């Protein structure tokens, strides 16, 4: 028996309706544009994919890269919980290696799918979902490597901008139906983050606190602000596409919904992200920046994945989401004049948001894999699609009734 039905029963949830599943099956991947570094990296990626056995599923490649990325960031958080400490140099080198591995594996999973004739809508969905989680961990890892905890505003903006730029990239896709890449995009960003890690590894993490003489500013401040300006320019380009007219009726989204609708979701996340920080009487963000950013990162990842699902199924997005219970607990605790220690509530909120994201993703993958008649991490065998399985069951029941 396939483990999918068992897991789905355990989760007790159906993420998508039958009409959504049917539209998902009709979805075709569409992307355009190449960044400056991509043509050069393609040479390496094309060589790398040929070294991968054809029996390995594309989604397995993706999840291995994400796992490595998460582990390396958790190591940095362990050594630098407030993003002001200095981790051992090997931790930064390991983070750079894991990020480069993630970038490479993330780039070849699609190539592996094509060379094994296993390209599916689930693969695209799985890839974007892993990216939504990865951007959170990478941004936090960079904050620890540069010790941005000494400048709360910079660490706040770094993580918030990373999540926001990822959301707007898929927001524009939801509007125009095509994922558009700029000349400076995710490939260059990841290579830049690798450079940050390697700089800390080879020159020591204290290199970031040195001052640039003619600017009288710390290296980390100038570097971070430059990166933020580049990201904000990317957001500006996304917004131009969003308000330039959609693919749906009267310039609406692919789901024929208003192009403004997704703003309320990311706007609610950013409003809570800022308000809870500013209203905290115990300086929760300054004392627990990594946990705070991670909790909101998990919330942002979920709504980003829901936006990807909305695009691929050509459907609307429900504003209400159980993931908001996490930050809601922090907000309520502040409203009650910090009745419970904010540290405890923050950890509870982080656990809630993380478990809620995992539950949603597992339920989504199980449901889609059953409908498409595939396994998420196996391409050597295929189960019976849910449509056919339902039909077979109905015929058997009819035959028994006739007897």
- Phi first, then psi: what are they for 259, rounded to 5°? -70, -15
- Mean pLDDT across the stretch 83-90? 95
Q: Which of helix, strand or coil describes residue 243?
A: coil
> In angstroms, what CA-CA distances link 116 with 50, 60, 102, 206?
11, 13, 21, 47
pLDDT at 6 over 50: no
Q: Let me know how long the chain is.
A: 403
pLDDT of residue 384: 59
pLDDT of res. 245: 80
Which of 22-31, 211-220, 232-241 bottoms out in mean pLDDT, i.e. has the lowest? 211-220
Instruction: Look at the block and give the residue holding tokens 């391409």.
Output: 379
Residues facing 180 on adjacent strands: 32
- Asked, for residue 362, whether it belongs to a domain, the answer is no
Q: How many domains is the chain built from?
A: 1
CA distances (Å), 232 to each of 142, 158, 162, 163, 229, in order?
Answer: 18, 11, 10, 12, 5
Q: Which tops the pLDDT comparison, 308 or 251?
A: 308
CATH number at residue 35: 1.20.120.1760
Query: Within a domain: residue 322?
Result: no
* 111-131 average pLDDT score: 93
User: Does residue 72 fall inside a structural domain?
Assistant: yes
**pLDDT above 80 (res 136):** yes
With respect to residue 283, please indicate whether it lies within any of the assigned structural domains: no
CA dist list (Å): 182 to 30, 34, 37, 265, 280: 15, 7, 11, 24, 38
pLDDT in the model for residue 398 = 44
Q: Is residue 373 part of a domain?
A: no
Residue 399 has pLDDT above 60, yes or no: no
User: For the segment 33-86, what is each residue's pLDDT rounded down to a tens digit?
Assistant: 888 888 899 999 999 999 999 999 999 999 999 999 999 999 999 999 999 999
Q: What is the pTM of this model?
A: 0.90
The terminus-to-terminus CA distance of the chain in angstroms comes to 28
Percent of the chain with pLDDT over 70: 91
- The secondary structure of residue 212, as a DSSP letter, is E
Write down the pLDDT at residue 176: 92
Task: Say if residue 7's pLDDT is above 90.
Answer: no
3-state secondary structure of 261: helix
Given pLDDT bands bounded at 50, 70 and 90, which one contains residue 99?
very high
DSSP-derived secondary structure letter, 177: S
Q: What's the pLDDT score for residue 341? A: 93
In a domain, 249, yes or no: yes
Dig out the tokens for 157 from the structure.
């903006």
Q: Give the C-alpha distances (Å, rounded to integers) separating 301 from 87, 317, 371.
A: 27, 14, 24
251 sits in the region (left: phi over 0; alpha: psi -120 to 50; else beta) called left
Residue found under tokens 């483990």: 3
Distance CA 19, CA 334 (A): 42
CB distance 72 to 99 below 8 Å: yes
Choice among 289-298, 313-322, 342-351 with the minimum mean pLDDT: 313-322
pLDDT at 249: 84
Angle, vertex CA 216, rays to CA 212 and CA 220, nearest 5: 55
Give the range among 115-124, 179-188, 289-298, 369-378 with minimum mean pLDDT.
179-188
pLDDT tens readout for residues 169-210: 999 999 999 988 888 888 999 999 999 999 999 999 899 999
151 is catalytic: no
pLDDT at 250: 82
Name the pLDDT band for 13 (thresholds 50, 70, 90).
low
27, 128, 238, 265: the catalytic one is: 128
Share of the chain above pLDDT 90, in %: 76
In sequence order, the 6+-apart residues with CB closer than 8 A to the CB of 216 are none
Separation of alpha carbons 296 and 66, rounded Å? 19
Q: Report pLDDT for 246.
A: 83
What pLDDT, on the 0 to 100 scale, is given for residue 385? 54
- Tell me, yes or no, whether 383 lies in a domain: no
The range of the structural domain enclosing residue 33 comes to 15-267+288-315
- pLDDT, residue 319, reads 82
Q: What is the mean pLDDT of the chain?
A: 89
Q: Is 229 exposed, middle or buried (0-12, 13-18, 19+ CB in 10 A)?
A: exposed
Residue 125: pLDDT over 80: yes
Return the higher-pLDDT residue of 385 and 61.
61
- Residue 125 maps to a domain: yes
């Amino acid at each position: 028996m396939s483990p999918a039905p068992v897991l789905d029963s355990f989760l007790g949830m159906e993420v998508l309706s039958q009409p959504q599943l049917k539209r998902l099956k009709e979805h075709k991947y569409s992307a355009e544009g190449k960044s400056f570094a991509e043509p050069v990296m393609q040479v390496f990626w094309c060589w790398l994919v040929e070294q991968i056995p054809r029996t390995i599923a594309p989604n397995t490649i993706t999840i291995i890269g994400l796992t490595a990325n998460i582990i390396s960031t958790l190591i940095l958080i362990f050594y630098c919980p407030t993003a002001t400490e200095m981790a051992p140099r090997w931790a930064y080198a390991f983070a750079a290696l894991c990020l480069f591995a993630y970038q490479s594996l993330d780039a070849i999973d699609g190539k592996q799918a094509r060379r094994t004739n296993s390209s599916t809508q689930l693969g695209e969905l799985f890839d974007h979902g892993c990216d939504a989680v990865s951007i959170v961990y990478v941004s936090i890892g960079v904050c620890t490597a540069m010790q941005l905890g000494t400048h709360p505003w910079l660490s706040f903006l770094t993580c918030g901008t990373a999540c926001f730029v990822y959301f707007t990239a898929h927001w524009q896709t939801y509007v125009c139906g095509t994922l558009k890449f700029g000349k400076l995009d995710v490939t260059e960003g990841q290579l830049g983050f690798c450079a940050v890690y390697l700089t800390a590894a080879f020159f020591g993490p204290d290199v970031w606190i040195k001052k640039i003489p003619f600017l009288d500013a710390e290296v980390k401040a100038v570097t971070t602000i430059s990166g933020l300006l580049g990201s904000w320019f990317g957001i500006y380009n996304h917004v131009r596409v969003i308000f330039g007219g959609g693919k749906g009726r009267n310039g609406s989204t692919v789901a024929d919904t208003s192009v403004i609708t997704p703003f309320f979701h990311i706007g609610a996340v950013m409003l809570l992200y800022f308000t809870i920080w500013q209203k905290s009487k115990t300086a929760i963000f300054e004392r627990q920046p990594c946990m705070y950013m991670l909790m909101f990162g998990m919330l942002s990842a979920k709504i980003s994945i829901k936006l990807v699902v909305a695009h691929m199924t050509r459907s609307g997005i429900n504003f209400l989401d159980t993931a908001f219970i996490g930050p809601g607990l922090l907000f309520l605790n502040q409203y009650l004049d910090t009745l419970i220690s904010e540290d405890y509530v923050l950890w509870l909120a982080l656990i809630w948001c993380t478990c809620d994201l995992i539950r949603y993703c597992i339920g989504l993958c199980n449901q889609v894999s059953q409908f498409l008649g595939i396994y998420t991490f196996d391409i050597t065998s295929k189960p019976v699609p849910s449509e056919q399985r339902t039909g077979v069951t109905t015929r058997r029941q009819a035959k028994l009734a006739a007897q």
